[in-house]
């Protein structure tokens, strides 16, 4: 399979690292002289738009990031929640912001990508308007079945689906969402056909799968530990096995070209100066290198991983191209 069969579900956010401890429960401060600052920047607090309600995954990860970045930056980093329309309200506001480095946002590919491809007239932004700065966490997708159910392996699912097209019910958190798209990817790679059942959120999709209303579900690795003993992870959509889930085989090692990840990333508005992009890329690298940050991200089950401005841009662009291929293949644009 080509790149059109890979989905990286980014999830992309900035994070920063540090040195000597400054007190219990506080982030560690950076060593001086390790980051090149633009002249006079930042001279005041920086706002980070989180386009979802407080308490969710993106909100939690950004607050952890800010905690470790503030000692490096030397200014307050303020989370501003702007929920609405699946995140597009907040992202559209980012695109309209002045490109002075004082308004940034967490972006969570593929969640900011799909609406722009499927509903381009309603979204309020285009993908090429984001100035992608860095990725600070990568959360892979897995295919799950309930423990005690009939499907023990990916082979069980594929064999049954091929013999009984459409009989397997796959839960998702809404039509055209990230898990919906990953399920299409799995169908294409395995030559099988599921019937997708939309729920209004991950909790209800999980309930449906545990109750047997649905047979399988695609969800992030966040569920693997939280639902251990209730859900069986059949395969993980990464290039190699996850060190935290060593017993879960990859789709690739089972013969299927399926790679699907969700990023936590940081982005700015169009026209953000290169020196500010580079500055935040350095900050992000220090945050991700901080063992305290990595430990806290593990607690919220969003594994820290760094990709700087150039690599983040390439990864997000690649994801956009792969999503576009799925949109065209399944004629999803509205």
**103-130 tens-digit pLDDT:** 999 999 999 999 999 999 999 999 999 9
Separation of alpha carbons 136 and 284, rounded Å: 7
Residue 32: the pLDDT is: 41
Residues across the chain: 334
Distances from the Cα of 230 to the Cαs of 19, 163, 173, 244, in angstroms?
41, 27, 19, 18
In contact, 277 and 36? CB cutoff 8 Å: no
Q: Is residue 63 over pLDDT 60?
A: yes
Kindly tell me if the per-residue pLDDT of 260 is higher than 90.
yes
Q: What pLDDT was estimated at residue 9? A: 41
Q: How many angstroms separate the CA atoms of 216 and 224, rounded?
A: 14
Q: State the average pLDDT over residues 256-265.
A: 95
Structure confidence at residue 310 (pLDDT): 97
Residue whose C-alpha is closest to residue 151's, from 251, 236, 232:
232
pLDDT of residue 29: 43
154 pLDDT band, cuts 50/70/90, is very high
Strand partners, 217: 144, 171
Is the pLDDT at 47 greater than 80? The verdict is yes
CATH class, domain 3-139+263-329, is alpha beta
Phi, psi of 251 (to 5 degrees): -60, -40
Q: What is the pLDDT of residues 281-314, one digit of tens each?
A: 999 999 999 999 999 998 888 899 999 999 999 9
Give the model's confidence band at 223: pLDDT under 50 very low, under 70 low, under 90 confident, else very high. Answer: confident
What is the per-residue pLDDT for 225? 67
d(CA 301, CA 317): 25
Share of the chain above pLDDT 70, in %: 90
Q: Which fold has domain 141-259?
A: D-Maltodextrin-Binding Protein; domain 2 (3.40.190)
Domain map of the chain by residue range?
A: 3-139+263-329, 141-259
141-259 shares the fold of 3-139+263-329: yes
pLDDT for 27: 52
DSSP β-bridge partners for residue 103: 47
- The pLDDT of residue 202 is 82
Q: What is the model's pLDDT at position 226?
A: 67
> How does residue 86 score in pLDDT terms, banded at 50, 70 and 90?
confident
Radius of gyration of the chain (CA): 20
């Amino acid at each position: 399979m080509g790149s059109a069969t890979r989905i990286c579900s980014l999830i992309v956010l900035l994070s920063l690292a540090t040195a000597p401890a400054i007190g219990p429960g506080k982030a560690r401060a950076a060593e001086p002289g390790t980051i090149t600052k633009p002249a006079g920047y930042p001279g005041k607090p920086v706002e980070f738009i989180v386009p979802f309600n407080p308490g969710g995954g993106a909100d939690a990860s950004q607050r952890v990031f800010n905690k470790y970045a503030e000692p490096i930056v030397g200014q307050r980093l303020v989370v501003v929640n702007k929920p609405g329309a699946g995140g597009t309200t907040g992202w559209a506001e980012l695109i309209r912001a002045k490109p002075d480095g004082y308004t940034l946002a967490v972006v969570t590919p593929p969640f900011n990508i799909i609406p722009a491809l499927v509903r381009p007239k309603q979204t309020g932004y285009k993908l090429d308007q984001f100035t992608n700065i860095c990725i600070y966490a990568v959360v892979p997708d897995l295919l799950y079945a309930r423990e005690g159910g009939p499907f023990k392996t990916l082979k069980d699912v594929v064999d049954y689906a091929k013999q009984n097209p459409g009989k397997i019910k796959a839960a998702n958190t809404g039509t055209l969402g990230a898990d919906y798209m990953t399920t299409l990817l799995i169908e294409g790679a395995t030559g099988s056909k599921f019937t997708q059942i939309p729920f209004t959120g991950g909790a209800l999709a999980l309930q449906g799968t545990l109750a047997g209303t649905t047979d399988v579900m695609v969800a992030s690795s966040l569920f693997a530990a939280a639902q251990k003993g209730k859900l069986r992870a059949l395969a993980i959509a990464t290039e190699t096995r996850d060190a935290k889930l060593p017993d879960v085989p990859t789709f690739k090692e089972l013969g299927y070209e399926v790679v699907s990840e969700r990023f936590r990333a940081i982005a700015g508005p169009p026209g953000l100066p290169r020196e500010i992009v580079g500055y935040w890329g350095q900050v992000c690298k220090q945050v991700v290198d901080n063992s305290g940050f990595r430990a806290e991200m593990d607690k919220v089950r969003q594994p820290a991983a760094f990709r700087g401005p150039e690599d983040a841009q390439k990864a997000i662009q690649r994801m956009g191209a792969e999503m576009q291929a799925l949109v065209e293949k399944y004629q999803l644009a509205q």
